[in-house]
Structure formats: C-alpha cells, structure tokens
Structure 1
Amino acid sequence: MNHPSDAVMRPTLPAGGEPGPVITRRARLRLLAWSAAGLVLALGAASAYALVHPERMPPAVGEIVEEITGANPHPVALMRPQNAPLSAVAVLGKQIFFDPSLSASGKQSCASCHSPQHSYAPDNAFPIQLGGEHLSQAGYRPPPSLAYLYRQAPFSIGPDQGDTDVPVDMTQLASQAAGMQRAQKTALASPAAPAMVPQGGLFWDGRADTLQIQALGPLTNPVEMANASEEDVAHKLLQTKYVEQFKQIFGPSIVSNPSLLISEAMFAVGRYQIEDQSFHAFTSKYDYWLEGKARLTHAELHGLQLFNDKDKANCAGCHLSQPSRDGLPPVFTDTQYEALGVPRNPAIPANKDAKYFDMGVCGPFRDDLAQQTQYCGMFLTPTLRNVAERKVFFHNGVYHDLKQVMDFYNLRNTSPGKIYPKDASGKVQKYNDLPPQYHANVDEADAPFDRKFGDKPAMTDQDIQDIIAFMKTLSDGYKD
C-alpha cells in the first residue's frame, strides 16, 4: 500500500503542451528540509524547468522553487515617475520648503515636521509636534508623511471602485508577483450608507484636495508655523533672498499681489513634491523583488502571503500591494478611510479634556461633514511605504513600533483588555477614543477584526514577526 505522503502530484497538461516534472508530497517535504545546496541538486531539471516555464508548473512546484530562491518568478516592469532635473518652479518650491523664516518663530520650516531623512515624516517619536510663535504650542495629530502623495486624488465620497476587482487565489500568491490587488472590505460605513466610501484628500481627515492647499495649512495654523494671516505669509515671502526668482518666473507684478504671490508659492511647493524623486523613490527591496532584481527571505515571503490573506492579517484590504494594470508601483494605500477604534493617547495634551474627541472626517478640523455621523471616527489610510522607519503610528500616535500595531489588530476584539484601559469598576473601555454613539462605525467585520472575544487571534506571534519582516522590505534605499 502506498503511503499517503507518496501520492503523486501530476499537473494537468495544457492542450498540446508538454508535461512538467512529477514531485511527490514526501519529496516536497524532504526538499524543504535539506540545505540550499542540496535542494538545488535534488530539484535539478525540475527547478530549471520551473524558472524557464513557470506557467506550466503545478502550484506545489512553483512554491518550492520560490521558497528555494526567494525570487519573483513573474517579474514586472514598474512605471516610476521620471527622474529629471527640477524645473525652475520646483527649485523655488524647494527653497520655500526648507525656509524657517516663513514661520512666526523663525525656526520652523516645512522640513521641520517632514524630514527628508525620515521619509518626509517627523524625525522624532513625539505623538504631536510643538509649534506656535515660541514653539510651545502642542499639536493635535502626528504629521503624516508627505511621501507617495503624488497620485492622491481629491477628497470625495462615492462607490468603492475596488469592489469590482477580482481577488487573487491565495494558494497561488507566491507565483503571482504581488498577491491580492485588494481584499474585500465589508465595513466601510454604517448601514445608512453601505456603498459610499470616503476616499482621497490630504491630511488625516482629507480636508485638503491638493498639495498646494495642503502646503498653506501649516503656515497659518496657530500651533504650527503660526502666521496670523495669509498676508503675513506674503510679507515674509517678500523678505526672502529668493524673491527675485518669483519675479523671474511669474513676472514683476507678482510682488504687488499678495494673494497671487501666496498661490504661486504654494504651487511651487507642490511642484517640488511632485518633481523631486525623493518623495516617491520606489527603491525598496519589494520594488526590486517585483522587478526580479531582489530575493525575499522565507520570512518575508510568508509575511507577504499573510499581508495579502483576507482571512488572516488582511493588510491588503486597505494597503494595496499589487502594481496597477498599467505598471504603476503600488503605494500601499487604497486612499480610503477607516474607523479602527485605536485607544486614546493620554500623551496628547488635548486629550486631558475628557469631552474632547478627534473624530476625523466629521471633525473637529473640518466641519463640512459634521452631520454625516456615519463617518465619525474615520481617518485616512496612510501608505505603508517606509513604515518601518516611522516612530509613531495611527492618527493619534498612540503606538511606537510595528509590534504594538500588529498586536492591536490581532487582539483588539479577541483580548480587548490587553489593548484598552479599564474604568474604576474594572470594565474594559473599548473604543475609548470615540464617543459611544459612534462605536457602530468601527470596523468589526473585516479580518482580523472578525474574531470575537475569547476567539483564537488571526495571527500567531511568528506570523506577526514575518509580517513585520515583509513590511521592512518597503523601506526605500535598499542595497543588495
């Protein structure tokens, strides 16, 4: 009698095709246990055939080959933004971006909170930054990274376009270059508007539609660069050493029109962010793996699989990992909004007021959607590119490393006592950073949040370590 592990795995032959090699289940286990050198010798012609003709291989063989080599068997051509010298407008925008004289304190520039050395995010682990005239005013949210915003659409509320995407068969993930384009999401809004999804925009609440508008916000924010008015900004621009460049680019009359001066200055900052490749470098190990130029480790490959698995980590449900159909590299966000129910951060001074709540899309920093209460508690999904380089996470900076972040996703519903504080009576204060009447907005349907109290978490500790290993491959500047 044949042992079950000796069962032969035979591929279905394509019409007119030639058969691939036959590998038994027992042989597969042995192959995975041997050393790399032994594996190569044992696979022999099968491995070579798989690398040349991956489309003809049964899934099991494709998985073995990838586990051995760590290579992407189906490389793609990524369409990166053109790398060219900055235009005169972008050069002007760069000077504005790094100029602290434009702040009320004279010590704070755009780069103060968006450091080029830290993926255009803060260079410290503070949950909020200090600003104002004397750099003593506390902010309300951690500044998000300015990297990878060049494809961000204006804010809108409408049908989830991703719902029409065809999900990828997870058993074929390793041989399909990037896994799921998008996992199914089922809890995007309250039942009052189940098909309407907030998406696009800049800042955590999407209140700015363009980089130009976004650039002006901090200049007049009293807890940031703290200019009293746009006229104050215009006056400071006229005192800069680069004012002559405004005249050369926009004409001499620009200096006598304050509103136009500000508009063109912010346009220049936006052009700098679009044209300078450092804002969207696409030089991570994952990018090179997609192109067949780098190899992922076993842990990184397993982390990628879990990242895309809609029944496990389900990260790809919001952080899309697959290149677009026209070859644009993934930016690891669907640019939509989610209410995740992260715990309140007592380190934010505003949170000392028990009645204060930051509810994202419906306030307090935008008021146009205050009545759309089905969106209260929703915040923009950020890119995960360079996520391993960040020092604070989520809209309130409550966590400081990726292990804490993954534990939140894994344990929020199964062991909430490990995530949230308890009140005087010992009751866990779940979703304590959102008023109770909006708790229904929090996603409890999508994995890994689809588990109940006491259930086994979606991920093991080893799973989490592997997912983090994969996320580290998203950091720019990879060198083999």
Structure 2
Amino acid sequence: MMKYKNSIVAVCILALGMGTIGHAYAEDTAALQKLGAALFVDPNLSKNRTMSCSTCHMEALGFTDGRETDKVGHDVSLGDDGTSLGDRNVPTAAYAKFSPPFGKNAAGDYVGGQFWDGRASTLEDQAGGPPLNPVEMGMPDKGTLIKRLKENSDYVTAFGTQFGGEVFQSDDAAFAAMAKALAAFERSDTFSTFDSKYDRFLRGEEKLTDQEELGRVLMSSTQFTNCNTCHAIRGSNGLSDGVFTNHKYFNIGVPANKAVRAANGSKPDAVDLGLAQNPAVAGDPAQRGKFKVPTLRNVAVTGPYMHNGVFKDLRTVVLFYVKYKSKKPSRQINPETGQTWDAPEVPENIAMTELTQAPALDDKRVDAIVAFLKTLTDKRYEPLLSKDNAGQGATPPAHAASFTPTAP
C-alpha cells in the first residue's frame, strides 16, 4: 500500500511537469515552486494519510475548503482524523503572498502575517503550521513528517538538488526546506491571477454594469462608506495589484459561532481572543477580539464568512456592517436567523470609530456593493457565481476533490 501511495505522488509530480526530478531541478524559483506544488497535494504529509494542504485549500474553490461536515457545513474544517473540528474558518490561500511579515507599522499597529491572528509571520512559517496541528494534519512531530518525505525517493532527490545532499541529516533543516518549497508555490501566479472582471475593467477590456459601478464608487469612497479604510483598494503599484486589505487587525464585534462551539467540543466559556492569542503579542488586552482584515478577492465564492464562518451569505456580511450605522429596527435583524444580531464574542476593543464613520446604506447601495464584490472573482471561478448559492460560498464540483489515493 505504501508503494502504491508513493507511486501516485510520483505521477502527480510528473504531471506537474517536473519530469525526472533529479535531472530537472536546479537552484531556481520555478523548480522550487514545482516541488511545492507536489507537496501541496500530498496527503502523506498528514498522520493518517488522508489530508493534504489542498484538502482545505482547494484550487477549484478559491483555495478554501468546500467539504461539508455533518453539523457545521463548511464553517470550519474537518481534521485528518475524521473527527476533529477547528474553531476558525479556513482563510483563502489566494493572494496570501501580499501580506507583509507580521509586525508593527510606523503608527504602532500590528500588521501582516498569516492566519487570522498573524501567528505565522511569513508564508514559510504558515506552511509549517498545519502539518503539526493536532486538529488539522495531525503529525506528532517534525521527525515523523520527515520520515514520510523520505519514503518518496523523488522527494529525496528533489530536496537534495534544491537544498543540498545533507538536507535530511537534520529534521529541522528538512522541515524548513519543505516549508520553503510550499511557500514558493503559494507565491506563484497560480494563487494570484489578477484576471477578474474588475481587473479587466481596470485594463479597459470590459465594462461594469451600472450596479457594479455604483458598488465600485461606494467601495472607493470615504464619504458614503468606510469600506476601504480596512479593505484598501490600492496595492504597492496602485489599483492594478490591490488585494482589498490593509493587512491590519480589528475587532468588529463578530458573534461566536455557537454551532461550531457545540460541534467541536469547546468549553462553554471558550472565547476566541484573536490577535491577543498570538504569542508575539503576549496577551496584550488591547488586542483582544481583533482579527486580520482578509482580502476581498474571490470573496463571493469563498464563504462562509468572518473568522469563524458565522455568516453564510455575502449580503449578510454587508448588512452586519450597516447595523452599526442604522437606527432602523429592520437593520438590527440578522436576515439569516430572523433574530436580532447576536452579541459580540469579545465586547471590548470594538472599532466603533471605523464602523460608524459613514452613513447607513439603503438596499440599493447594499446590493450594489455585493454586485461589485462579485466582480473581484478570478476568471476561473466566475462560473461559480451563476450558481444558486452565489455569494454564499461555493459547493465543490466533482472534479475539485482533494488529492486522496485509493486502493487499487
């Protein structure tokens, strides 16, 4: 069985254009990305050989997890053991390379990093997290993971070519090499295509509808909305590489996902403190409840939403922000439950200044913002928008299943 699993990974490597790895590899980015691509889809990197990086980051679904669980849909992800559930929604891996390393900016605000709380400073740090997380891929330690890598002779050859023949003499060195290869793949153009309708509009290749244009104007405004205070529309090169986040952290008063807490066995008094749980922040009470501002690219097909998947529909998310600005009783109702919005999980440190700066939006403008957000969908995912559940996250098509070997 082991020989069969290794052979499948070898076939996957060949399919990625790596050929005979020992001869094809050189010290270059393209070769490293190809190695990372093979590692990304390899379930042998998990304890029970059931989960790869691509299991929770399906390329066909905007690099998010579309697997359904019995009790919580895909609010959070199922672990390698088939029973463990996390407490946070899987963030997309698309456009993650644009997040700077975790730290403080000139104003003293925390920015950057990976994961919802920034606990991984870089993509390399992030790539090493899930394999050793007991509720994700479940490997007990680095040494066990490296033994798995060495089961595959193609990996041994490729690692030797890329990192030197002594790379497997140290588990730490081999683990770091694996993380470097995975991070190189995540920095490839596969994850950041910039070919959405919005991008095509910027290049003069396509026009927006009147509704989408109104949404674009509203998103860009500091008078009618405050969206781009956090979801910055510009990148380092202007609009062309904007990923719609300033990479900062805010507490916006998101309620707990009670269904997830009930399903994953959390203690009744469990509270997700977000950034304050990042070891680099050392429990600073001023950071309690803050989570990283996510990219809005592909947001229409990567629900459910918020750090815990508590909202299913994209329009609900927009209305959640509107409720801070509106005095209308109808705006104080969560449309998904028909009840008043649940209380914030962490009531202190809520960014009320940012949340209340702009006037409340009427339905026309809410719908316009949702329409514009859909234009941020990469071209390959645009067919998902036509589904009945567009804006509620996508259901994985049959061909989007993660790379999982089966017995012959």
Same fold, TM-score > 0.5, yes or no? yes
1:115 paired to 2:58: yes
1:152 counterpart residue number:
99
Kept after mapping to 1: 8 A contact 2:316/2:335:
no
Kept after mapping to 2: 8 A contact 1:198/1:337:
yes
* SS in structure 2 at match of 1:159: coil
* SS in structure 2 at match of 1:131: coil
Residue from 332, 340, 352 that aligns with 1:444: 352
Kept after mapping to 2: 8 A contact 1:285/1:473:
yes
Change (3 A) 1:272 1:266: same
1:187 counterpart residue number:
none
1:94 paired to 2:42: no
TM-superposition CA deviations, 1:50-75 (whole Å, max 9, x none): xxxxxxxxxxxxxxxxxxxxxxxxxx
* SS in structure 1 at match of 2:110: strand
2:119 counterpart residue number:
207
1:274 paired to 2:196: no
- Residue 351 of structure 1 deviates from its aligned partner by 7.6
2:371 counterpart residue number:
469
1:79 counterpart residue number:
none
Distance in 1 between the 2:304 and 2:143 partners? 34
Change (3 A) 1:352 1:227: closer
Kindly report which structure 2 residues correspond to 1:85-234, keeping only aligned pairs within 5 A, or say none: 87-124=30-67, 125-132=73-80, 134-160=81-107, 196-234=108-146
Q: CA RMSD in A?
A: 2.6
- Residue 443 of structure 1 deviates from its aligned partner by 1.3
TM-superposition CA deviations, 1:321-344 (whole Å, max 9, x none): 135456751111100111000111
1:384 paired to 2:296: yes
1:12 counterpart residue number:
none
Residue from 330, 333, 345 that aligns with 1:418: 333
Distance in 2 between the 1:398 and 1:241 partners? 44
TM-superposition CA deviations, 1:371-411 (whole Å, max 9, x none): 41111110000100001111211101101111111111111
Kept after mapping to 2: 8 A contact 1:343/1:420:
no
* SS in structure 1 at match of 2:131: helix
TM-superposition CA deviations, 1:16-69 (whole Å, max 9, x none): xxxxxxxxxxxxxxxxxxxxxxxxxxxxxxxxxxxxxxxxxxxxxxxxxxxxxx
Kept after mapping to 2: 8 A contact 1:421/1:429:
no
1:252 paired to 2:165: yes
Kept after mapping to 1: 8 A contact 2:316/2:336:
no
1:265 counterpart residue number:
178
- Residue 369 of structure 1 deviates from its aligned partner by 2.1
2:308 counterpart residue number:
396
- Residue 446 of structure 1 deviates from its aligned partner by 2.1
- Residue 274 of structure 1 deviates from its aligned partner by 1.2
Residue from 313, 331, 353 that aligns with 2:267: 353
Higher relative contact order (CA 8 A, sep 6+): 2
- Code of the residue aligned with 2:139 in structure 1: it is N
Distance in 1 between the 2:211 and 2:34 partners? 42
Gaps of 5+ in 1: 1-84, 161-195, 452-456
Change (3 A) 1:241 1:405: farther
1:301 paired to 2:213: yes
Change (3 A) 1:421 1:90: closer
Distance in 1 between the 2:191 and 2:58 partners? 11
Kept after mapping to 1: 8 A contact 2:333/2:340:
no
- Residue 319 of structure 1 deviates from its aligned partner by 1.0
Kept after mapping to 2: 8 A contact 1:345/1:351:
no
Change (3 A) 1:362 1:352: same
- Code of the residue aligned with 1:234 in structure 2: it is I
TM-superposition CA deviations, 1:396-449 (whole Å, max 9, x none): 110111111111111146457524999xxx998632x11xxxx341011124x3
Kept after mapping to 2: 8 A contact 1:361/1:378:
yes
Kept after mapping to 2: 8 A contact 1:321/1:332:
yes
Kept after mapping to 1: 8 A contact 2:299/2:377:
yes
Distance in 2 between the 1:107 and 1:429 partners? 36
Gaps of 5+ in 2: 1-27, 68-72, 384-408
Kept after mapping to 2: 8 A contact 1:420/1:430:
no
Change (3 A) 1:389 1:446: same
> After alignment, is 410-419 or 300-309 more displaced?
410-419
- Residue 450 of structure 1 deviates from its aligned partner by 4.4
Residue from 245, 250, 256 that aligns with 1:344: 256
Kept after mapping to 2: 8 A contact 1:361/1:376:
yes
Change (3 A) 1:263 1:322: closer
Change (3 A) 1:471 1:142: same
* SS in structure 2 at match of 1:269: helix
TM-superposition CA deviations, 1:435-480 (whole Å, max 9, x none): xxxx341011124x348xxxxx711111111111111110011789
TM-score, normalised with respect to structure 2:
0.78
Kept after mapping to 2: 8 A contact 1:92/1:242:
no
1:372 paired to 2:372: no
- Code of the residue aligned with 2:181 in structure 1: it is A
Change (3 A) 1:127 1:427: closer
Percent sequence identity is 30
> After alignment, is 407-416 or 238-247 more displaced?
407-416
